[in-house]
Structure 1
Amino acid sequence: MVLGSGMIPTSYEPPPDRRASPASLRRKFFMAVVTMPLVLTGCDRPTPASGTPDSAPPMEISASDRDASLDAIDRWLAVGRADNAESIARMLATRLPNDPMVAATLGQVLLMRSAELREIAGEAAASAISAEAAEMFLAADQGGRRDAATLRSLGVAQERSGRLDAAIETYRRAADEDALTRLYLGLALLQAEKGEESVQLLTALSTARPDDAFVRAALAEARFRTGDTPGAFNELDEAVRLAPDEIGIRLRRASLLRRTGNARMAIESLVAIPDSERNQRMVVEELAAGWRSIQRPAAAAEVWASRARSVPADVPAALMAAACFAEADRPSDAEAWLRIAEETSPGDASVAAERRRLGL
């Protein structure tokens, strides 16, 4: 998450039944599931790399097998196995290519996979899978599935894949009937530099939901972007009061402190975050930005290096460590992290480009 412009995590509606909406794929429940049979014939075979259906004609399945497959997807997601959920969802979409519920379900799974990838390697790495999710939600929309949850998810996928204008129009379609979509619309308008409209929308939403910390935090960002810094801090203080342990809101406050010249206070607030959460990518991004804003690139480099050590697949973190060490005039450390990136991702063009940029 990029705190200056990205969406704030939310937890609004109680999850509806999955038969009514694919949004229930986000249900927060835990089940003691050790294994779950893949109910589709041959679902353990490799999926084509492009993620498109095979050239053979689709093989129809029964309604009961369809529903059992959707249940299996939910259960795999509940135990944190989005990879297995994706395998089933792709196979189901191959066999039922014109089923809008199936398309929406695959879109939701892909959106979750993009969130996983974003945490590992950052926003750019997740863009392609977000674009594929958007295609699935569009198929569901065109197939007649136009409930608020599907439209909201379509907007999120469009936004994450760099189609902000399309996302705004999609959010507008569902905003009147859905509070969560109104929040996303307000933040998307802010990214599109439509600050006054964003403030107006989020102020109305805050009036309707005065105890919603996420709405208060979003309104704080909107007020700051439109020049009302005191109002922004008032909203953030209230958001922190309502949800003192919510990491996304604490990050929003740190970001605002940094951007108003109080970087040391921002750093102190982030260092106080528990170790178990401090190495999350969004925390690392903000903490490193704080150190760099007070001309401490070596400290920023150590933050990125810690992230890269704990999540070796996060090659961009290794590259950021290298860049910050180079900025701190520590070329040997920069070289070490470039080599780690090269060994982790051989032939990666972004790694070669960063080496050229740093002149190492």
Structure 2
Amino acid sequence: MNQDSKLCNYLFDLPDSAIAQRPLANRQDSKLLVYDQARDQITHSTFSKLPTFIDCDTTLVFNQSKVYPCRLEARKKSGGKAELFMLSTELEQGGYQALVKTSSKKRLGDRFLIGDDCSAEIIGLNSKGSFQLAFDRPLAEILEQYGKVPIPPYIRNGQSDLRDRQDYQTVYASQLGSVAAPTAGLHFTPELMQEITAKAYVNLHVGLGTFAPVKEQEIEKHQMHSERFSVSKANLEVLKKASKKIAVGTTSLRVLESLERELVGDFVPDKSFETDIFIYPGQEVNSIDGLITNFHLPGSSLLMLVSALIGRQKLLELYRQAIAKDYRFFSYGDAMLILRGERS
């Protein structure tokens, strides 16, 4: 079997101290590892200096999806604790799709109390274990008042606070719909955004599947989760005219590569599409000239995606250097800029 196909070859040791629990006070002070693939050259810098590594004819592509506070603490009428994890803010079939966590079996008609003035009721069961909920107040109001940001479990055991509402959101987020942040964008400040002259925006709503681990020992058998995305007509025109593109984050890359591979000639601006694209070594990635990304979990589909750009062994070498130089890992951690070599 090809060594790049084995899940075990995407594992690495990481000390707990390397997992960032909070972002830096100034987002752009994060460390930046720059890898120039054409020169096989590594530079250690800071994110504030990002513009100095980017050619003036390069367009940065941002995912403008916005995280919503989708985790609701609730209680049953009996007093038992419950958690409602809202999978969508869109009304479907008279209710809202959610995961419901309780210590007892869930049934149609079960009611849950939220705070002192709200309640939810199970009105339907979906095929994949989620439920349809109806609320006695507008969901947007309830989430704003009681919702918690769904930070990953490796950050303070997934227990978010009010500070995370700002920290776990990019400064350019505008389209509500993600349950996880496109974390490569967390390093940008308003000042740094002003320095980036060529920008385009896509919109991919990050779903709960982003936390799903790869379990297949042969990674090609992994079934990627599906996520909704769209691109406006104006931004599509910018992308078409761009001579070079750098994706800000793996979500932006998944949109661009989906457009390149699956929707050539069939894409309709502003329309919502689904993508379950899984990018891993052995595949050609022709939609970008570079990638800005964070340092990812061992064995994750994101690690495999970045490996597809520069090779698994090279990526793990860069990770070893990052660990040795005390880079901070995962969502609130530091960043990497990959500048790709010439592609056919």
Q: Above 0.5 in TM-score?
A: no
Higher RCO, 1 or 2 (CA under 8 Å, sep at least 6)? Answer: 2
Higher strand share: 2
Higher helix share: 1
Give the TM-score, by structure 1 length. 0.28
Give the TM-score, by structure 2 length. 0.29
Q: Which has the larger radius of gyration?
A: 1
